[in-house]
């Protein structure tokens, strides 16, 4: 257990120090959301309606962009081989790495989203709901993305391929995230139903991601 | 005679050499019968007219788009669990065929949709989940094409294929849910039992014909892939000897 907590601390240190690029994702998120009104026009009513979707798409893209660093840096400096040979179960190592990665890159997105929601002219209820769905949904994106990151770890330019592999798998998270966020403001649909499914997807990917990611890392070695 | 007996590529090539001509003849005959029934015998729909005949190629394509993925998933399981040497060849060769069938299912569906629904594309649950399946095929092909070493490419794509198997029901289910939320009126509904026998028989024959076509194409692609790998190995030996 102490090895795993040490790993978490190490990952956090690496992500927050120079060259870690932890806040790069949040910056990208800001830019994506800023670009949208230029595309669809500054109609505040329209922006309020599509706001949750824009925030979700921005968070999805920002998560995908940061994912290629998840295992690549460790592979480059040989740390991955040590982890593979270590005693700690590889699945748990992947889980811890994902959690640390999410804390460093996903959590800033969640924290930034209420401010960006104000740009989108969203109502307070919608802002709260969207932030809550992002808080539950972005870990799922990281865990699913870890599979793609592990599959493309040995490739030189794996970033684009990673996005291609991971995006179709994130469709359910996206659907239920946006559904829950819009259900909070639209009357007939209950918020709890899509939100519980989103939470279930998060828990499910928390199991699937580390197992599949660890399998991919094992085979990437030989 | 067990599956492992055909782990030897030479033996497998011998088997395909004997089976393929017969299989090709049977496929051609089934197609001849099926197309005859579709063009001359099957009745035109009282509402849709002759355009209903698109169904006889559209439904087999849609069925095969899923059958191909199941084949790939079985092969992926064979690669990872039994390390069957031909399983990854099978998985690799099924991917482009599956992508082609999925594309044709989307294309024929679109051609059918234009006269029937008045639009080429609807964000209907079924259409959307097939589109996601198509993207997953392309992603698998991209992954196989990116990793140079065939053995490593096989394992990576096997893992992704199995992850896809787990995810496809979830995607299908979530897309259904998404659709019902935004678009309550179902545009397209066709239960198997509602089809008249005069249409069902040609449809089943066409589905069999296309499944046989898949088998022929798959075996041919596997044979080519084995030969391609042999050439690759020979070139590597040659290159190593030249130094």
The interface predicted TM-score (ipTM) is 0.85
Strand partners, B49: B45
The shortest C-alpha distance from B155 to chain A (Å) reads: 7
Q: A7 is in which domain, residue-wise?
A: 2-221
On the question of pLDDT at B12 being above 60, the answer is yes
d(CA B99, CA B58): 14
- Residue-wise pLDDT tens digits, A206-222: 999 999 999 999 887 65
Predicted confidence at residue A46, as pLDDT, reads 87
- Residue-wise pLDDT tens digits, A51-71: 889 999 999 999 988 888 888
Please name the residue of chain A whose CA is at the shortest distance from the CA of residue B169: A172
- Residue-wise pLDDT tens digits, B187-220: 444 444 556 677 788 888 999 999 999 999 999 9
- The more confidently predicted of residues B169 and A103 is A103
On the question of pLDDT at B22 being above 50, the answer is yes
Helix/strand/coil (H, E, C) string of B94-128?
A: HHHHHHHHHHHHHHHHHHHHHHHHCCCCCCCHHHH
Token pair, residue B105, equals: 């299912």
Predicted confidence at residue B182, as pLDDT, reads 46
* Mean pLDDT within A76-98: 88
Could you tell me the fold of the domain covering B20-184+195-238?
1.20.120
d(CA B174, CA B125): 9
Helix/strand/coil (H, E, C) string of B180-191?
A: HHHCCCCCCCCC
d(CA A129, CA A123): 10
Residues of A in contact with B159 (CB under 8 A): 147, 151, 212, 215-216, 219
How many domains is chain A partitioned into structurally? 1
**B 139-178: CB under 8 A from A:** 139, 142-143, 146-147, 152, 155-156, 159-160, 162-164, 166-167, 170-171, 173-175, 177-178
Domain ranges within chain B, ordered by starting residue: 20-184+195-238
Q: Is B15 exposed, middle or buried (0-12, 13-18, 19+ CB in 10 A)?
A: middle
Would you state the torsion angle of the CA atoms of residues A145, A149, A150, A151, taken in this order, to the nearest 10 degrees? 100
Q: Among A29-38, A61-70, A177-186, B190-199, which stretch is predicted with the lowest mean pLDDT?
A: B190-199
Distances (CA, A) of B37 to B31, B112, B204, B205, B231: 10, 20, 11, 9, 44
**B 47-66: CB under 8 A from A:** none
Distances (CA, A) of B122 to A19, B57, B128, B131, B183: 45, 20, 8, 11, 10
Predicted confidence at residue B179, as pLDDT, reads 66
Predicted confidence at residue B189, as pLDDT, reads 47
- Residue-wise pLDDT tens digits, B112-166: 888 877 788 888 777 888 898 999 999 999 998 888 888 888 889 999 999 998 8
Residues B24/B216, Cβ–Cβ less than 8 Å: yes
Distances (CA, A) of B94 to B11, B65, B144, B164: 20, 10, 12, 15
On the question of pLDDT at B181 being above 70, the answer is no
- The more confidently predicted of residues B193 and B21 is B21
Residues A174/A159, Cβ–Cβ less than 8 Å: no
Instruction: Tally the residues of chain A.
Output: 222
**A170 contact partners, CB below 8 Å, separation of at least 6:** A60, A140, A141, A144, A145
Token pair, residue A19, equals: 């060259």
Predicted confidence at residue B187, as pLDDT, reads 40
Predicted confidence at residue A200, as pLDDT, reads 93
Distances (CA, A) of A47 to A116, A117, A135, A137: 12, 10, 22, 22
- Residue-wise pLDDT tens digits, A107-159: 999 999 999 998 888 888 889 999 999 999 999 999 999 999 999 888 877 77
d(CA A129, CA B148): 45
Residues of A in contact with B69 (CB under 8 A): none
The mean of the pLDDT values for chain B is: 83
Distances (CA, A) of B118 to A30, B130, B179: 40, 20, 19
A164 reaches B (C-beta below 8 A): yes
Which candidate, A213, A108, A219, A99, places its Cα nearest to that of A165? A213
CB spacing of A171 vs B175 below 8 angstroms: yes
Query: Residue B45 carries which DSSP code?
Result: B
Residues B163/B96, Cβ–Cβ less than 8 Å: no
**B225 contact partners, CB below 8 Å, separation of at least 6:** B89, B92, B93
d(CA A120, CA A129): 14
Predicted confidence at residue A221, as pLDDT, reads 66
Strands (E), chain B: none
CB spacing of A179 vs B181 below 8 angstroms: yes
Predicted confidence at residue B210, as pLDDT, reads 93
Q: What are phi and psi of B49, to 5 degrees?
A: 70, -145
Say what the pTM is.
0.87
Look at residue B49 and give its three-state secondary structure: strand
């Amino acid at each position: 257990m102490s090895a795993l907590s040490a790993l978490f601390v190490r990952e956090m240190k690496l992500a927050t120090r120079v060259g870690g690029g932890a806040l790069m994702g949040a910056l990208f998120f800001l830019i994506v959301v800023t670009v949208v009104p230029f595309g669809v026009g500054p109609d505040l009513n329209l922006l309020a309606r599509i706001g949750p979707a824009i925030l979700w798409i921005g968070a999805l893209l920002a998560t995908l962009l940061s994912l290629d660093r998840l295992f690549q840096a460790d592979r480059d400096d040989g740390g991955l081989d040590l982890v593979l040979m270590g005693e700690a179960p590889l699945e748990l190592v992947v889980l811890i790495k994902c959690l640390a990665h999410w804390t460093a890159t996903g959590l800033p997105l969640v924290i930034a989203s209420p401010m960006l929601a104000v740009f989108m002219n969203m109502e307070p209820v919608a802002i709260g709901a969207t932030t809550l769905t992002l808080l539950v949904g972005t870990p799922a994106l990281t865990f699913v993305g870890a599979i793609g990151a592990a599959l493309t770890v040995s490739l030189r330019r794996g970033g684009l391929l990673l996005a291609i592999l991971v995006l179709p798998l994130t469709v359910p998270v996206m659907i239920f995230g946006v559904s829950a966020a819009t259900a909070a403001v639209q009357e007939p649909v209950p918020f709890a139903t899509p939100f519980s499914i989103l939470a279930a997807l998060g828990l499910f990917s928390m199991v699937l991601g580390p197992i599949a990611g660890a399998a991919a890392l094992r085979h990437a070695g030989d | 005679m067990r599956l492992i007996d055909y782990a030897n590529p030479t033996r497998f090539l011998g088997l395909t050499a004997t089976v393929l001509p017969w299989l090709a003849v049977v496929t051609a005959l089934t197609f001849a019968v099926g197309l005859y029934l579709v063009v001359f015998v099957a009745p035109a729909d009282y509402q849709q007219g002759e355009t209903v005949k698109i169904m006889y190629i559209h439904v087999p394509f849609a069925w095969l788009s899923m059958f191909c993925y199941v084949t790939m998933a079985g092969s992926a399981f064979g690669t990872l669990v039994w390390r069957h040497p031909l399983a990854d060849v099978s998985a690799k060769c099924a991917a482009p065929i599956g992508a082609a069938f999925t594309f044709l299912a989307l294309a024929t569906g679109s051609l059918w949709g234009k006269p029937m629904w008045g639009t080429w594309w609807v964000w209907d649950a079924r259409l959307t989940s097939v589109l996601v399946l198509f993207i997953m095929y392309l992603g698998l092909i991209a992954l196989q094409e990116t990793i140079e070493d065939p053995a490593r490419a096989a394992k990576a794509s096997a893992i992704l294929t199995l992850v896809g198997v787990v995810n496809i029901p979830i995607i299908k289910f979530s897309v259904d849910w998404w659709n019902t939320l935004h678009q309550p009126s179902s545009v397209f509904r066709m239960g198997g039992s509602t089809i008249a026998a005069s249409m069902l028989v040609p449809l089943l024959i066409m589905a069999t014909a296309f499944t046989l076509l898949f088998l022929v194409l798959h075996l041919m692609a596997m044979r080519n892939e084995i030969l391609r790998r042999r050439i690759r190995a020979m070139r590597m030996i040659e290159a190593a000897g030249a130094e």
